[in-house]
Each structure stands twice: as C-alpha cells, then as structure tokens.
Amino acid sequence: MSVETADRVAAVTSSRPSTPLQTSWFEFLLDGSLLENHLQKSYPDPTPVQLIIQFLEQASKPSVNEQNQVQPPADNRRNRTLKLLALKVAAHMKWDLDSLEKGLTIPVLNMLLNELLCVSKVPPGVKHVDLDLSTLPPTTAMAVIIYNRWAIRTIVLSSFPEKQTKPGPHQMNMLSIVQQEKEMTDNILTVLKEQATDSISVLEGALQLKKDFYVHTLRTLDLLAADAAANGETESSTAGLRISADELHCQVHYDLGGIFFQQGCTDQTAYENARDHFRQTKELLTKLDSTVHVHLDEKRLAGYWNACKALTEDCDPSDSQNTPYNQINSLIRARNYQAVIEAFIKDNVSRSLPNNFRRSVLREFLYKVQQGESTLDEVCYKLCVCNAVRDALEGEVLSVRFQQLLLKPSKKMVDFILEVLSHLLMSQIIVSLKIFAGVTNAWDILETLCETLEELSLLFVVSSHKLFMELLKEEERKVLVEQLRKRSTTINLSAKPLPSFYDIPASASVNIGQLEQQLILLLEPRRIRQILVELHGMAERPFWKVNSKWEVPPDYINVILGIKDNLTKDLVYILMAKGLHCISIKDFAHARQLFSACLELVTEFSPKLRQVMLNEMLLLEVRAHETMAAEGSKERPPSDLVSRVRGYLEMRIHDLPLRQVVGKECVAFMLNWRENDYLTLQVPPSLVMNNPYIKLGQLLASTCKELPGPKECRRTAKELWDVVVQICSVSIQHKRNHDGRVGLIKQRESSMGILHRYAEPLVLTTLISLFVRLHSIDDIVNEVTAEHLTIWPSTLPNIQAVDVEAVAVTVKELVSYALTLNPNNQSWLITQADIYFVTNQYSAALNLYLQAGAVCSDFFTKAVPPDVYSDQVLKRMIKCCSMMNCHTQVAVLCQFLREVDYMTAFKALQEQNSHDAMDSFYDYIWDVTILEYLTHIHHKRGETEKRQIAIKAIGQTELNTSNPEEVLQLAAQKRKKRFLQAMAKLYF
C-alpha cells in the first residue's frame, strides 16, 4: 500500500471525526461529471466563486519556454477546458451579477465575462454599440447584455468609498501582488468609464427588444465543448435558460437608473433619466409574479426613487400617496416655508419623520442663509425650535444651536416656542391619554427657557402663559418664581420694573416684594435711595441681603457692615455691589454714576470709606481705558489718570483696607503704557521692598527697557529670572494636595496674573521668553523656541525645586493669551507651534508654522525670511507631515533645508501608504535628484501614470542643470511659494 493510500485509510478509520478532503481544481479536469455533482451539494467546498477563481487563475498562468523566457498563457486544450469550467460554474449561478460581484474581484470578473463573449461568438473587434441585438443569436445577445450590465454596475460600485485593509506583517510579501491587482483594476475601470456611453446605449437598445431572452446553461456550454458544428445550432436555438423580457427589462432599468443617478452629480438632467428608469423598474416589479432572474435591493430602489423625486421636483403636495419626505421636499421647492414649519409642528405629535431628516432640512436652510438668503433667518430659528421640542420628546439633549438661540431671544421667538409646546400638549393624543411621557420632557424645555432668559419682560410672558399654569402645580410655580427672583441680578439692570409673575391679592408683603424687585433692577442712585427709605419705613431688616448675587470685596465687608445706621449701610453696600457688577459687564457709565453717589455719601461720615471709593473709582477708570485699548483704541491714557495711578502706588494710609487687585492692575497699567522710566527710576525704594507687584513690575520694565542691548540687560534679566524662579519653586511650607503634589499655581501668584485685558507686546514677549527658557531647561529634547532666549541664564542650580507642571501650564496660557491680542505675531506663532509639536499635536503645529510663514511673507507671495523658517522649524514641519503620513509633502519640504536631506526624502517616497495628494505635489519639486528617484520608484512599482507625471516634471526647461544659477534659484523660489500656498489651503 502506498503512503498516500495509507494516509487516506487512516483518515477514514480514525476514531476522531475528520474534515472531508477538499476537492482540488485539477480533479474537475479528470472527471467531467464531477463539477455538476459538486455544485449540487448543499455546502460545496470549494464554493462556486472559489472554483471560478481557481479555474481562471490556472488558465491564465504564464508559461516558460526553453530559453526560460516568460510567455503568455498557452492556448491549449487544458486552458480552454479550465475557462469553460469557470463559465459553467457561473451558468450554475444563473449569471447572478450580485453574487459574482461579491465573490470575485474586478479583474477576475472581467476575464470571466470576456470569455463568455468569446464562447458566445460575439464578433471580435466590433464595438458592442454597433451590433444589432435583434439579429444576433439569443445567447450571443444575452452575453453582450450581461457584459454591459456589469460594466455600468462596476462604475457605480467603484464610486462608493471603501476602507482599505491594512496588510499585517505576515502579508508584506503580498504587497507587490496587491499593487499589481490594484493597477489592473484601475486600468479596467478607466476603460469601462470611457465606454460607459456605449454600454448605456447597448442596454437601452436591449429595452427595445420585446422577445424572450436565453442565457447559457451547463448543458449549452457542454454542447459548445462537444462539437464545434453544434455551436451555431445552440446559439440559434432556445436551448439556454429562458428569461422573460419583463424580467430582463426590470433588471436593466434598475442598472441604468443606478448609472444615471451617479452621473446626476455633474449633470442635473441625469436624475430625470434615473427617475424614469426606477419608475419602470417599480412598475415591472409589481407586474411580475416571480422574480427568479431579477436581483435587486428593493429598499435601495425605494431610496433611489425617493431621492430622484426630491431632486427632480416630481412631487405633488396634494398627492395622498406621497411620503412625508416628498411632501416636505415639494414644499421647500415651492418656497412654502410656512407650510414646512407647520408640518414640523404636526410631526412633533405624529413623529413620522426621523430626527436625522428633520436636522438635514434645518442644515439645508442654514446653508442657504450662509449663501446670502438672510430672509430665511426666521425659518431657521423656527425649525430649530421644532427640532428642540422633538429632541426633548425623544429624551435627547437639547441642541447647542437651540441653546445659542436662547442667549439672545426675541418676544416673537418666545411666543413661537410656547405655540409649539401648546400644539403638542393640546393634541388629541395628550387629551385621550391622561399620562404622557412627553409632558415631563416638554416641561424641561419650559424650565430651560425660564432659566436662560435674562429679560424680565420675556420671563413674564412665559410665567403668565397657560402652559406655565397647566404643567406645574402651585407649589412648583412658586419655587421656580423664587429661583428666578434670586438670580435676577443677571437680568438687564436697566429694564423697567414689571408686575410680579402672577397676580396675588394685594397685601403689605406684596408691596415689599415689588419694591425689592425694583431695588434689584434699578441703576439710578436717587431712585435706589428712595426705595430703601420706603422699605425701611415698612420693615426693619437688612435689605442688602435681598439679592444673593450682590457682592462686595471681602476686604471692605467689615468696614461697610460696621456702619451703624442701617439705611446708610444698605445704601453703601448696594451702590458698591451694583457698581462692581456694571464694571464686570463693561457698563462703565452706570458704574461711574453709582460710585460717584456712593463717594458723595461716605464723604460725609467716613474718611476711610472715602479713600476706598476713590481707589475703586481709579480701578474703574483703569479698566475702562484697558477695555478701549483691547477694542483697538490707540489713544494714550490722560495724564491725570497716570498721576492718580502713581499716587495710589505711593499711597501709605494706616489701617486702610486695600484690595490687591487694584495695585496689581495699576502696575500692569504702567507696564502696558510703557511708563518704564517711572517704574525704574522714580518709584520709592521702600515701595519696591514692600510691594511684590511693584518689584516685579520694576524688573519687567528694566528688562524691556534694556532689551535692545543684550549685554546691558543681562543683569536686570538675571534679577527678573531669580524672582520668577522663586515664584515657580516649591517650598517645604507649601501644603500638598490629596494626590501628593504641591498646589503651586493656587498657592502663588504667577507673573502673568498682573496682565489683564490689554497687554504691551514687548512685556508679553519678555515673559514668554522667560518662561520658555525655564521650560526648556527642564526638557532640552522638547525645546520650545522664542525671542531673546540668550538673555536668560542657561542653567539652574536647583531645578528639582521648580514646579515643572506650573511652568508648562504658564507657558501655554501665556502664549494662548498673547495670540488673542495679536494673532499675527510670527514669533508667538512659532512658539505656540513648538508647544503643539512637543505635545505631539502635529496637525495643529503645522497649521501654526504655516501661519507664521504666511504673516511675514504676505501669504507666501514673498520669500519667508530664513530666521522664521530656520532649519529647526523646517525639520519640525517635516516631522509633522511624516507623522500624519503625508510623505510626499515630506519630500518637498526636504528641499527647503540649507542642505537637502536626501535620505529623509527618499525614505518618505518609498512609503506607499501616503495620505496626501502624492503626484499632484510633483510640480513643486525642483531638485532633479529627487525627481529622478521618483521616476525610478514608479518604474520599479509599475506605476506608469505616476512615472509619466514625474518625467514631465523633470523635463521642464527651467530645471535643466545647465541653466545659470539665477534661473535655478528663481525656479526653486517659484515652487516654494506655490507649495506653501497649497499647504496653507490644506491646513488653514
């Protein structure tokens, strides 16, 4: 017994169950009846599509002659039989293109159908569009129809995005095979797209044939193989599988509809053709009793049909059979926007439209507004409100757009929100069902509305509406009203007083409540005093507690509460609290009125409070001027304001409560307006020693003043460095947080804390430079660059004592703040880009590197200065592109270096998984060596088209190495500018 036989016997007699041996492809060559028996099995192994692949793979293997030269596959009996076997398997599958397309690649299916054309005696060398299908034998005509159906289906399928599978390590040796198959697929698709018009014409011609069609079966293919003389008889007879005209027409209409729908994105009329074909597909489907030979996705057909009707305006709003989608689309086309809004309101009850469709309608209107149709603003906010109500009913979070609408609402908008809610809650569904989950969710919207609105008149509209009464119990209404009253300082304080939210029988408590409400709203000092007099005549209690939002600084609270007269105490407290609130919302005019009245009041009885108010009024004027500067004003502060700031800094009054923020902002004011001479020469030494803000301001001013001369400013820079290092250092007295780290940022004031609203660029540059240097000492590898780094010490004796985390946070916050003041400062942009780079945020880093180049070159119309795009910056840009898999951009940037980095460029060009536009960047390459390497790479990979693009780029006359140096430099500069502009469009 042979070894092979013994193995088979052992497999059969083994006590363990064994997997049946898979039938090999060559066994079908040896036994003619084996194929049909194999295909009749419930689960044949190999499967039919696997068999087709194996047969065609073996039939297309190249041969090698005696001289070891590779020859095309031989046209011998073996290969012809293998191709026929593949056709017989497809015939067993009844030429179902759906199944064949799922199991076979485009090159394999192309080979199979070309073989079908060959055996069906389709005249070679003749275009299919020139054939008269009505005169061809039935199976010949059917072969032409199947091929052209597949052609247009493949074009449509290839337009769908596909996720590329990334090969694993064990598949690396298969990359060349995969690449070859991809190129073959691309070539086939190119040909099919060129012939698409012809394929469409062939299929339209097939629709004119009203007779039945016949396609090859296993039996007819056997007849073809048995006798060449029988071929003609077989083709002319009706021996094949019969397919009725209606079945074929139904399938062809569907396929033609798909190709016309795909063409609609570039040709609007194609949608009408698609609609007509899909209509006839639907009609034929209803006509057919069975659809054995029709293979289509009816859900997809329905989607196509709805899309075509929407795109071709083929919708009648009065049609009772119309779907809700079509009704909405027809209303939009008819510009009947009010009807669209009403449909959305009704749909909140029926919920027949999916949320994603409703949102897409809103996005469409928002897009129209962006294109200039400002008249649609009202439609947009109304649709947004309708969608918000629907979201609430579904238990979803209210959209950000709806929340933004509530920031600046109008009475019209509030009325509409109430109208939508009323329609929902008064619907028959709600009436018939006493308990409805939507009621609670609808109340959520009402509550959100109440909590967001800041205008009292609008709050009154909501709280007096019948919904407010019906949805809430009396206790709940009172609780909400009380909450609204407590937060009323956030309401527009200049609003006129209004009645309370709902009527209560008149009583003394109501009068007090109304007076308190007016007290909260008013800003006119005389009226505030009058109301307080009335309140104190009705009740003796501390009215400065009426609003929990009224706050005065803790430094002053004891002095104010120490006032013996209760009326005066309330008045001083409330005037100061309202004034501080007005400053916070930049209402400086009202703040001046309130503070002036308070100053006049306290001058009568308290010199200490008089000085407090003078200090607060100084801070008010400083902030008012800073706000003007931040908004673009270049006007210097008046001399009297500068004198008052100096007077405050030098003031020494015993037992006077002082807020640190006043001194801090005064120092910042002097720095921002370059009062460096005062800070460096005129500040009393005792003041410098006792006030840390003055000391820090003096060091900053000295450093900024001497910056033009690095040698001179080294001493003052060293002093400033030592102070900042001390600020950022950890001392053993600091308490640790729960996680064991020292809370340095909370424990100490950072140097940027004295800069508010408006900041002098030189001061910011100096601080950025200092903190960047301190940051880089700790992490030399991830170095961040900035201006004037050389003036700071290069070492730190006790670096372990520095809170590295605090320094890193300060650098980020400081640079971010600086860029809000001047987004076009190239130095700050480079620093911010470096911060992103060292934290591995490569896309953001590249964006800012490009911005830095753009601002100093008029958007790259001029050359970027070499001090901006230094080799270090360029290498970081290269790494950013590399980490984002934009390898062609890497190769282009390698040319920008003083010495071209060929090694990095070549390595990048070897990468096949590039996420950039690849060959579209070849025009930006001016280095001939890189272009020659590109040509070699594409030739090696068999990438003919890309190789031609590289050859075309290298063949430009201006890149000829024999040209004068000036010509070559001009060519390089031109490509640099164009490349950087292209990159800016990508990343900005």
Answer left, alpha or beta for residue 491, where phi above 0 means left and psi between -120 and 50 means alpha: beta
C-alpha span between 32 and 454 (Å, rounded):
88
SS3 category, 151: helix
Q: Rounded CA gap, 789 and 785, in Å?
A: 8
- Given a cut of 90, is residue 575 above it in pLDDT? yes
Q: Name the residue among 148, 140, 135 with its Cα closest to residue 119.
A: 140
Q: Given the structure tokens 């070549």, which residue do they identify? A: 906
Average pLDDT value for residue range 728-747: 45
Q: Decide: 976 and 925 in contact? Cβ < 8 Å.
A: no
Asked whether the predicted pLDDT for residue 117 surpasses 60, the reply is yes
User: What one-character DSSP code corresponds to residue 125?
Assistant: T
Could you report the per-residue pLDDT of 594-648, keeping only the tens digit for each? Answer: 999 999 999 988 888 999 999 999 999 999 988 888 777 778 888 888 888 888 8
Decide if pLDDT at 435 tops 50: no
Average pLDDT over residues 172-182: 61
Share of the chain above pLDDT 90, in %: 15
Q: Which of 141-150, 173-182, 230-239, 677-686 has the highest mean pLDDT?
A: 141-150
Q: Is the pLDDT of residue 432 over 50?
A: no
pLDDT at 879: 94
CA distance 85 to 32: 10
Q: Which of 605, 604, 598 is nearest to 582 (CA)?
A: 598
Q: What distance in Å separates the CA atoms of residue 553 and residue 561, rounded to the nearest whole number?
A: 12
**Contact between 669 and 645 (Cβ < 8 Å):** yes
What is the CB-side half-sphere exposure of residue 245 using CA atoms within 13 A? 9
Q: How many CA atoms lie within 13 A of 819 on its CB side?
A: 18
Q: How would residue 493 be classed by pLDDT, with cut points 50, 70 and 90? A: very low
242 - beta bridge partners? 214
What residue has token string 């995969």? 178
How confident is the model at residue 843, as a pLDDT? 92
What is the rounded (10 degree) CA torsion for 775, 776, 782, 785? 100
Q: Please give the mean pLDDT across all residues of the chain.
A: 78
Cβ-based burial of 91 (10 A; exposed 0-12, middle 13-18, buried ≥19): buried
Give the tens place of pLDDT for each residue, 841-860.
Answer: 999 999 999 999 999 998 89
500 pLDDT higher than 50: no
Averaged pLDDT for residues 882-909? 93
Pick left, alpha or beta for residue 531 (phi over 0 → left; psi -120 to 50 → alpha; otherwise beta).
alpha
Between residues 318 and 33, the one the model is more confident about: 33
Alpha-carbon gap, residue 248 to 313, rounded angstroms? 29
- Tell me: pLDDT of 212 over 50: yes
Lowest mean pLDDT, pick from 229-243, 667-681, 945-959: 229-243
Please tell me which residue, 452 or 574, carries the higher pLDDT value: 574
Among 84-88, 296-300, 479-483, 601-605, top mean pLDDT goes to: 601-605
The confidence band for 579, taking pLDDT boundaries of 50, 70 and 90, is very high
The pLDDT of 551-579, averaged and rounded, is: 91
| Token pair listed for 708 | 């033009």
Give the Cα separation of 46 and 847 in Å (integer): 54
pLDDT of 739: 40
**Mean pLDDT, residues 869-893 taken together:** 94
Please tell me the predicted confidence (pLDDT) of residue 468: 65
- H or E element in which residue 241 lies: strand 241-243
In this predicted structure, what is the pLDDT of residue 291? 66
- Averaged pLDDT, 581-601: 92
- What pLDDT is recorded for position 498? 32
Helix, strand or coil for residue 912?
A: coil
* pLDDT higher than threshold 80 for residue 731: no
Confidence of residue 463 (pLDDT cuts 50, 70, 90): low
Q: Which has more pLDDT, 589 or 917?
A: 589
Q: Show Cβ contacts of residue 510 under 8 Å, excluding neighbours closer than 6 positions.
A: 500, 504
| 826-830 contacts at long range (C-beta below 8 A, 24 or more positions apart) | 826/852, 826/855, 826/856, 826/868, 827/765, 827/786, 827/787, 828/764, 828/765, 828/768, 829/855, 830/785, 830/786, 830/868, 830/873
Q: What is the mean pLDDT of residues 867-872?
A: 92
Encode pLDDT of 804-854 as tens digits. 788 888 888 889 888 888 888 999 999 999 999 988 999 999 999 999 999
Least confident window among 172-176, 208-212, 297-301, 349-353:
172-176
Which amino acid, residue 542? P
Could you tell me which residue, 68 or 306, shows the higher pLDDT? Answer: 306
> Which pLDDT value is given to residue 871?
93
Q: What is the pLDDT of residues 413-427, one digit of tens each?
A: 888 888 888 887 766
Q: What is the pLDDT of residue 495?
A: 35
**pLDDT, mean of residues 679-706:** 76
pLDDT at 897: 94
Indicate if the pLDDT at residue 588 is higher than 90: yes
* Neighbouring-strand partners of residue 70: 64
Cα angle at 823 between 822 and 824, to 5 degrees?
90
| Contact (CB, 8 A) for 619 and 665 | yes
Q: Does 451 or 911 have the greater pLDDT score?
A: 911
pLDDT at 329 over 50: yes
Other C-beta atoms closer than 10 Å to the C-beta of 927 total 19
Q: Is the pLDDT of residue 756 over 60?
A: no
